[in-house]
A = this chain, B = another copy of it.
Amino acid sequence: MNDILSIIGSNVRRYRLARGLSQELLAAHSGLHRTYVGAVERGERNISSKNIERIAKELGVEPHVLLRPYKGIRED
């Protein structure tokens, strides 16, 4: 599947792991529930713009970055 939810999910997971964060910590810092973050990473939730913004802030990226299809190693 390559729809927007899968793209967001794989981006969140990749940046979270790169930061050494658990789903629990990312969720807690974002004001979200761990099970919700897990579902987002699996592309199972139609995440809202505000929640994209919250998660992006915790991951230290601009929100739009989480919607970009991943095409390998990037500078940013």
Contacts and interface: CB of A to CB of B under 8 A. Distances in A.
Q: Which of A3, A52, A69 has the most CB of B within 10 A?
A: A52
Contacts of A69: 62
Contact of A46 (B5, B49, B66, B68): B49
Interface string A1-44: 00111001000000000000000000000000000000000000
Contact of A50 (B5, B53, B62): B5
A4 B47 contact: no
13 contacts: A4-B50, A4-B52, A8-B49, A47-B48, A48-B49, A49-B52, A52-B67, A62-B69, A64-B64, A64-B65, A64-B66, A64-B67, A64-B68
